[in-house]
């Protein structure tokens, strides 16, 4: 089960109504039905934010209440902004999940309260990473509390947010799914800030939110410490290539960094050379270093010219 559908609800809403930092987005007036919905959520011990009939709520308010305080009633209001009925919004959620390749995810509601809403840790991590591309979302989930209309200040349920380089993303709990945490932890690589995502689902017993948060933080820390970072210097000789006794060294034309996660002592570097049967010129690409985590292979170049093979060498 999935503890919360809020991440997809936010993703769908932002695709429909894109929003930047400082903007409010579309607004709507709270109805008596929204108040009754809040009261029903509280009676069922779901996380919700108090609302009053006639209150004006904008998209930015709803995003803050959902991502910081897991407000189920805010999710319903946001869904109503996008689609005419709850069923139509859920159809949109599932279509979006399929388009994103989240093959093990299916939504039955916009909050995740339904035990028919299901997902996996991997799918939720993929969705969180996509959602966190938004500067607005990153600025929201990093808050320990938020000031909302009528409700005032409400706290974040995400353990450790604001400390230990934890920057959100979302926690939640339901009877069916237990305690869950989708956590992003910041780290630095080559002078740049990156995020590693850890997802823990199905915590049971005791303080399930705290337990899920602790487990997610331990998982993220383990991933970070297992990272391998290798620097290849320009001109460093990595091998030789040529014909017979006429060979030339090859190496990198430019300094490059590659990294990977080495949790299982797995070294995913592979050297792939081109098939060459003619003159190899200095600076010509003769192959590549491939790393499964790198966006593109690193080209290898000949460090001096090698004459084309003779007919005898070709025959051999």
Going 173 to 47 to 157 to 92, the CA torsion angle's sign is: positive
Nearest-angstrom CA–CA distance, 58 and 304: 65
Query: What is the pLDDT at residue 294?
Result: 54
Count the neighbouring beta carbons within 10 Å of the beta carbon of residue 61: 25
Gap between the terminal Cα atoms of the chain: 63
Q: How far apart are CA 201 and CA 171, in angstroms?
A: 10
Rounded Cα gap, residues 21 and 24, in angstroms: 8
Q: What is the pLDDT of residue 276?
A: 81
Can you read off the two tokens belonging to residue 258?
């590659």
Radius of gyration of the chain (CA): 26
- Tell me which residue has tokens 């996008």: 82
Q: 88: which residues sit within 8 A by CB, 6+ positions away?
A: none
Strand partners, 152: 148
Strand partners, 173: 179
The closest alpha carbon to 107, from 133, 134, 83, belongs to 83
Nearest alpha carbon to residue 182 among 223, 153, 141? 141
- Stated as kind and residue range, the H or E segment containing 89 is helix 86-99
Distance CA 43, CA 273 (A): 66
Q: How far apart are CA 62 and CA 75, in angstroms?
A: 7
DSSP string, 110-124: SSS-STT-B--HHHH
Q: What confidence score (pLDDT) does residue 293 get?
A: 53
pLDDT, averaged per 10 consecutive residues of the chain (316 residues), comes to 82 97 96 96 90 97 95 95 96 97 94 87 94 96 95 91 90 84 86 87 88 91 75 83 87 77 62 84 90 72 87 64
């Amino acid at each position: 089960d999935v503890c919360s559908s809020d991440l997809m609800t936010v993703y769908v809403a932002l695709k429909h109504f894109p929003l930047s930092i400082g903007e409010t987005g579309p607004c709507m007036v709270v109805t008596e039905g929204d108040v009754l919905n809040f009261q029903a959520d509280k009676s069922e011990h779901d996380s919700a934010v108090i609302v009053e009939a006639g209150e004006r709520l904008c998209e930015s308010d709803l995003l803050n209440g959902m991502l910081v305080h897991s407000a189920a009633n805010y999710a319903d209001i946001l869904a109503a902004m996008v689609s005419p009925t709850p069923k139509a919004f859920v159809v949109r959620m599932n279509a979006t999940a399929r388009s994103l390749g989240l093959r093990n995810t299916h939504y039955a509601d916009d909050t995740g309260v339904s035990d028919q809403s299901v997902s996996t840790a991997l799918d939720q991590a993929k969705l969180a990473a996509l959602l966190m591309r938004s500067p607005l979302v990153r600025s929201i989930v990093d808050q320990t509390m938020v000031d909302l209309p009528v409700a005032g200040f409400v706290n974040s349920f995400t353990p450790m947010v604001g400390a230990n380089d934890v920057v959100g993303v979302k926690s939640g709990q339901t009877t069916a799914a237990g305690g869950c945490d989708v956590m992003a932890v910041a780290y630095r690589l080559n002078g740049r800030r990156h995020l590693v995502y850890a997802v823990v689902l199905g915590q049971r017993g005791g303080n399930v939110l705290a337990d899920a948060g602790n487990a997610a933080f331990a998982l993220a820390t383990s991933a970070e410490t297992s990272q391998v970072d290798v620097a290849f210097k320009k001109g460093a000789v990595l091998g030789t290539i040529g014909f017979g006794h006429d060979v030339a060294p090859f190496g990198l034309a430019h300094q490059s960094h590659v990294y990977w996660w080495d949790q299982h002592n797995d070294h995913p570097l592979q050297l792939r050379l081109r098939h060459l049967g003619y003159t190899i010129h200095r600076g010509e690409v003769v192959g590549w270093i491939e790393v499964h985590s790198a966006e593109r292979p690193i080209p290898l170049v000949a460090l001096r010219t090698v004459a084309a093979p003779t007919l005898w060498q070709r025959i051999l």
